[in-house]
Amino acid sequence: MGNDEKKLALKIAVASFIIFITILTLIISASYIYQRNGEYREFQSENQILENRESIPDITHPLLLNMTGDLWGKKHRWPRDIIIFDDDKKLVKNDFIDLREEDILVLFRLENTKNMDIEIMGHTYLVGRSYMKNSTVFIFHDLTPLRDFHLTLIAIALIGSLLALIIIYLLARYLARLTIEPIREQSRELEAYSHNVAHELRTPLSVMRSNLELLKIKPESRFIDSTNEEITGMERIIDSLLFLAKPDQGMTKTDINIITKTEEIILKYTPENAIKYTSDKKDIHKKGSEELYTRILCNLIENAIKYKSGWNISIDLSKSGIRISNQIAHTMSDDELSHLTKVFYQWDSSRNSTGYGLGLALVAKIVEISGWTMSIDGRNQEFIVNISF
């Protein structure tokens, strides 16, 4: 894989990672704040019980000592840890073990009925202070599980995000290769196309320049004729390239008598060339461009004449399509067949023959815009083109 794919994949992965982390952080933070506020509200509601001296007459109430009691008419276990001091700050009840002196000092600094977070013995507690029957009561709610739960979520999110980063990066590399490779292939084809155009146009220009130099030395009509032929060749190249760029420009569809038109075209190439023609119908009519159909058949016949080896060219016409075949020097490989319809491609055995490698490319484009299909076969030393209407 090239550096372009790696850079693109890395950018996609990092951007996805940042978005993923941001979303997870917001979700976890919102969950923590929401649950923490819920804990505060619940804690404040339960704390109000201690402020009602009629509901809890003294510190010996089972609600405080035995951790059970009748709350709102229901048997209910008191859900909080409690520490109770008398007026002399003497410990009466302690649900904690090994409460340190500094912890007690921190507790007594709390304002009455004010809830706040305090760190005690490595835990974070929500603490409320109340007075009841000459006693000071501290109610505790451990927030550490809530905090630890969300810290665990953050750790899992980080690990999951790192795994997601790796997966996204690998997936992005694969997708980047799928995205960039066709662009790179098109770039290579465009480079080859430009090179071929320059080469095909430079050749006739070189011949024309040579003819002009020869005309200066010895004026002869053959040099003029040769120059005209090269100009005609250049015009054909330019016309073909313009057609390939905008194949449907100015195309007019009419009713074509395929039989009549095919026979007219074949007459142009016979009797100089032996063409075996058969048809199973007297009349076949199709909607399309007569000019483009003529170009298809002329290009295929000229291609067959140019590269045939041995027996005659065969043209078989039916209502479903047309089949043109001729013998060739050797069997064509799949790679050669796959390149035949590319612009400026010429088969190995024809490199020294005339032509520009545009014939089959034009045929393929015309077949495509006509809504037809074409297949090419070059096995068993027989070149066959099938066009289905």
Q: What's the CA gap between 215 and 226, in Å, rounded? A: 11
Please state the φ and ψ torsions of residue 18, each to the nearest 5 degrees: -65, -45
Query: How confident is the model over 275-295, as pLDDT tens digits?
Result: 889 987 778 888 888 888 988
pLDDT at position 384 = 92
Q: Which domains does the chain possess?
A: 70-140 (3.30.450), 249-388 (3.30.565.10)
Residues with Cβ within 8 Å of residue 306, at least 6 apart in sequence = 350, 353, 354, 355
Q: Is 303 exposed, middle or buried (0-12, 13-18, 19+ CB in 10 A)?
A: buried
In this predicted structure, the answer to whether residue 86 has a pLDDT above a threshold of 70 is yes
pLDDT at position 142 = 82
Query: How confident is the model over 132-185, as pLDDT tens digits?
Result: 667 787 878 888 888 888 888 888 888 888 888 888 888 877 877 777 777 777
Q: Which residue has the higher pLDDT, 233 or 2?
A: 233
pTM over 0.75: no
Q: Which residue has the higher pLDDT, 133 or 82?
A: 82
Helices marked H in 88-220 — which ranges?
A: 101-108, 144-217
